[in-house]
A = this chain, B = another copy of it.
Amino acid sequence: MTSPDTTDRPLDPGGPAPASDVVRLLTEALGAKVRTDEQTLARVRTDESGHATDAPPLALVEAETVEDVQAVCRICTATGTPIVSRGAGTGLAGGSIGGAGEVVLSTARMDRILEISPQNRLAVVQPGILNGALNAVLAEQGLWWPPDPASKDISSVGGNIATNAGGLLCAKYGVTRESVLALKVVLADGTLISVGHRTVKGVTGLDLCALMIGSEGVLGVIVECTLKLRPAITGPVPTIAAFFEDVEAAAHACSAVTAARLEPAIMELLDEQILAAVSAHTGVDLIGKGRSYVLIQTDGPGAEATAEQIRAVLEENGARVEFARDPADAARLVEVRRQVHPAMTRLGTALIEDVAVPRDRLSAMYRRIAEIAQRHDVVIPTNAHAGDGNLHPTFIFEGTEVPQQVWDAADELFQYAIELGGTLTGEHGVGLLKRRWLGDELGTDQLALQRRIKAAFDPDGLLNPGKVFAPVEAAPANQH
């Protein structure tokens, strides 16, 4: 896979300034916050997807204040230099990686909590704070920010917002979009705007706060986040381990739980290959008990009664059910689920895909994945957030270059997810790695409209060029 052809993006009429001028201007304005050492630049050429750009960026700027971000944007606009904003760098779609001629603007050091208000059930934070670190502080006050990506201990709140991060709890508690009240955003030219409200309700003008969420750095740089909190979940969290004959039976049972109007907090499905890999990686024997596994937790008021109802539905659908009554056992089972990603990377290079389908199509999707794997002679262990229909088919291969048959298989998989009324990315985002398929899902008319909206924010095309939207001219020749 090639890196984005960064020379093809639109530039201001005078053309870009020489690279040395840009770095000089940045250094004059921001001093030691500008990093150009080889090791640093190598780090920000890649993310957790493993994909790297073909060449290092010009510089990494580690912003510490809103004014720093504005200064970078003004210099980059004046010199026609692309800006790649970046949080903790844990993305899985190449959305925040910097290449030739680009400046990577990191908000990782802007990691302070500015306010926690139990009265208004909100927190105001800088974007660089890690989700897990924030929630540790909130928990002391009986509060909780629900977004729950598997990466939460290492991913930033700003990154969670920029990708509209999902996670395990979304069917019950919503995606990140439902947990953000307001944002401060720096536009490409350095203008600072405030979108959204400190209030629960607010309908003044177009909802640009919602539009910013999941926009992957192509509209603006998020510099402050007002987060909608919930009361911390208290009381027991009954945990169910359910084993099935095969993955289709497991998927069918999960759909039956939803159809029965029951609301688990998490409902995670592991297929046989995932089960084997996770058992080997963690030393917790799951594969000995069944060929597919569903982990379910209920929480909040009525958690015990809901768990019993869910157990009944699972058993009617062929499950062998175990209850983890001990909180430590339960926590260990959830931790096992969180080890899926590390377990996959032990098997080889792992390209983690991220389709989502309507919940009643989960077993159809699993069936098709098995067919695709066989036909293309590839290995595709697949786990799913079964409560919301989000599957992670994971392609395992050797080396760093994605083999052609993997892309061919992925292409078929995406097309089928879209055909089922689903999406090619449930929670990871488009970034560089999925922009090729963007038009397949949005359609030509909507894609053109989305490009016009991008231009309304960023007329010079300097914010994260080549991410989400392929360069117009280069698109056919420059896929992935």
Q: Which residues of A contact B (CB under 8 A)?
A: 117-122, 142-143, 163-164, 166, 170-171, 174-175, 177-178, 187, 191-195, 197-208, 210-211, 213-215, 218-219, 231-232, 255, 258-259, 261-263, 300-303, 305-306, 356-360, 385, 387-390, 421-430, 434, 438, 441-443, 445-447, 449-450, 452-457, 468
Contact present for A232 and B203 (CB under 8 Å):
no
Contact in complex: A191, B454 (CB < 8 Å): no
CB contacts (< 8 Å) of A143 on chain B: these are 261
CB of B200 within 8 A of CB of A211, answer: no
Q: What is the predominant secondary structure among interface residues of chain A facing chain B?
A: loop
Give bound CA distance, A211 to B164, whole Å.
Answer: 14
Contacting pair A200 B456 (CB below 8 A) = no
Minimal beta-carbon separation of A314 from chain B (angstroms): 16
Of A122, A163, A232, A441, most buried by chain B (CB within 10 Å of CB) is A441
Closest B residue by C-beta to A418 = B204
| Residues of chain B lying within 8 A (CB to CB) of residue A174 | 174, 178
Cβ of B120 and Cβ of A359 under 8 Å apart?
A: yes
Question: Which of B117, B255, B301, B302 is within 8 Å of A360, CB to CB?
Answer: B117
Taking CB atoms, residues of chain B closer than 8 Å to A166 are 201, 203
Q: Is the CB of B119 within 8 A of A258?
A: yes
Return chain B residues, CB-CB under 8 Å to A454.
206
Contact A206 B197 (CB under 8 A): no
Chain B residue numbers with a CB within 8 Å of A389 are 120, 199-201
Q: Closest B-chain residue to A177, C-beta based?
A: B210
Given A261-B231, A360-B120, is A455 in contact with B453 using a C-beta cutoff of 8 Å?
no
Q: A395 → chain B, closest Cβ, in Å?
A: 19
Q: Are B201 and A388 in contact (CB under 8 A)?
A: yes
Tell me whether B468 and A205 are in contact (CB under 8 A): yes
Q: A453: which of B118, B202, B206, B262 is its contact (CB, 8 Å)? A: B206
Given contacts A203-B163, A205-B442, contact A197 B356 (CB under 8 A): yes
Which residues of chain B are near A204, meaning CB under 8 Å?
Answer: 423-425, 430, 434, 438, 441-442
Q: Indicate whether A356 sits within 8 Å of B202 (C-beta atoms), given known contacts A118-B261, A302-B302.
A: yes
Residues of B within 8 A of A453 (CB): 206, 208, 453, 456
Q: Are B426 and A203 in contact (CB under 8 A)?
A: yes
CA distance A445 to B197 in the complex (A): 17
B210 near A211 (CB under 8 angstroms)?
yes
Q: Of the candidates B199, B207, B232, B445, which one forms a contact with A177 in the assembled complex, judged by CB atoms under 8 Å apart?
A: B207
A211 CA / B457 CA spacing, docked (Å): 14
A181 to chain B, nearest CB (A): 10
Is B199 in contact with A207, judged by CB distance below 8 angstroms?
A: no
Candidate in A213, A218, A359 with the most chain B CB atoms within 10 angstroms: A359
B261 touches A356 (CB 8 A): no
In the complex, are the beta carbons of A203 and B443 less than 8 A apart?
A: no
Are A199 and B422 within 8 A (Cβ)? yes
Whether the Cβ atoms of B359 and A121 lie closer than 8 Å is yes
